[in-house]
A = this chain, B = another copy of it.
């Protein structure tokens, strides 16, 4: 299988480079009958659009997606859906001077080692620009989830040492708080503290790491697959395929190392006829299959590798040199912010695939 596809039944294949003519995605395997239109993609793309706030790169791209196939009279037909997103404002001349410099913390070196050729303009295929195609596909996935009354949400849980405190249990309220924050952080106080951190980092030409929390609600029990296709394995695969992600955890995650079984085991009980658990250390899955409790996990993102400080490095021919980001190049001081809608999209994509596969679980 090529390395640009994700999913088993609801399968996406993304294509396009940061500074090429366009990027896009083909969705093969979407059931027929889903109402879907371009405006829904563009609304989703607007969320991740840079320049929306002072804390993301000012690159002025107002993405306008085009559905080229697979939708007829407003509904999916079962045919592959190709979504095209033209690249605007992609002046790549300023990448010329650094095309022979190994960018610290960047895929430039490894792509060259693997392929012997690299589209250095804006990072080419390794650019976060690719994630716009994931968000476009995620918009369709969410339409499918709506029919199953499943909600997915992601937000900034931590940036540097500032951790957000989540006080509400109502997903729509949480969503509102998240979108009200220029940092996608549902905790207003934490948002202010994080904003200060970013300002400081920007002044110093530096960048920050961050953590994104994701959740899926109203997923019925019994969704997901055992052994190698566990829900948490697919979610981990999805999240670790994102640029700059360094870690994934579900439920109690790494904290479970410090716990004991008597504490970690979530006790079953019955609430208004439904089987629930008192706690949710599992994070909504047992043995890779959903329990009916909220699916919740976190993704760690490293600080943006593109910083404004000069860094020692090598040329592609191995000569020592100093790497300086070209004047005019634009980068987010914290990639985790822009990653929020992408993490949400990947959560949706994993769930749609699991729900479809579940149709074949029983005779």
A248 and B247 within 8 A (CB): yes
B260 and A314 within 8 A (CB): no
Q: In whole angstroms, what is the CA distance A265 to B208 when docked?
A: 12
A194 CB to closest chain B CB (Å) equals 12
Interface residue A243 (Cβ < 8 Å from any Cβ of B)? yes
A117 and B208 within 8 A (CB): no
Contact pick for A226, options B75, B126, B226, B254, CB 8 Å: B126
Of the listed stretches A53-61, A166-174, A304-312, chain B binds A304-312
Interface residue A9 (Cβ < 8 Å from any Cβ of B)? yes
**Considering the complex, which residues of chain A in the window 173-213 have a beta carbon less than 8 Å from any beta carbon of chain B?**
201, 206-211
**Considering the complex, which residues of chain A in the window 196-242 have a beta carbon less than 8 Å from any beta carbon of chain B?**
201, 206-211, 220-230, 232-241
B223 and A114 within 8 A (CB): yes
A228 and B105 within 8 A (CB): no
B270 and A320 within 8 A (CB): yes
B226 and A111 within 8 A (CB): yes
24 A-B residue pairs with CB within 8 Å:
A3-B229, A4-B79, A4-B228, A5-B11, A9-B360, A16-B69, A32-B114, A34-B363, A72-B117, A77-B115, A109-B268, A110-B287, A110-B289, A113-B292, A114-B224, A116-B362, A144-B363, A229-B241, A233-B236, A247-B253, A253-B300, A254-B300, A259-B303, A261-B305
Q: In whole angstroms, what is the CA distance A123 to B301 when docked?
A: 36
Interface residue A118 (Cβ < 8 Å from any Cβ of B)? yes
Q: In whole angstroms, what is the CA distance A69 to B82 when docked?
A: 14
Please name the residue on chain B nearest to A313 by beta carbon. B268
B283 and A246 within 8 A (CB): yes
A206 and B262 within 8 A (CB): yes
Best-buried of A32, A115, A116, A147 by chain B (most CB within 10 Å): A115
B248 and A32 within 8 A (CB): no
* List of B residues within 8 angstroms of A238 by Cβ: 233
A159 CB to closest chain B CB (Å) equals 8
* List of B residues within 8 angstroms of A206 by Cβ: 260-262
Contact pick for A289, options B105, B111, B314, CB 8 Å: B111
A32 and B289 within 8 A (CB): no
* List of B residues within 8 angstroms of A118 by Cβ: 72, 77
A265 and B109 within 8 A (CB): no
Interface residue A31 (Cβ < 8 Å from any Cβ of B)? yes
B362 and A359 within 8 A (CB): no
Contact pick for A125, options B20, B77, B258, B307, CB 8 Å: B77
* List of B residues within 8 angstroms of A9 by Cβ: 2, 360
* List of B residues within 8 angstroms of A13 by Cβ: 5, 13, 26, 28, 80
Q: In whole angstroms, what is the CA distance A313 to B266 when docked?
A: 9
* List of B residues within 8 angstroms of A52 by Cβ: none
**Considering the complex, which residues of chain A in the window 27-82 have a beta carbon less than 8 Å from any beta carbon of chain B?**
28-29, 31-34, 66, 68-70, 72-73, 75, 77-82
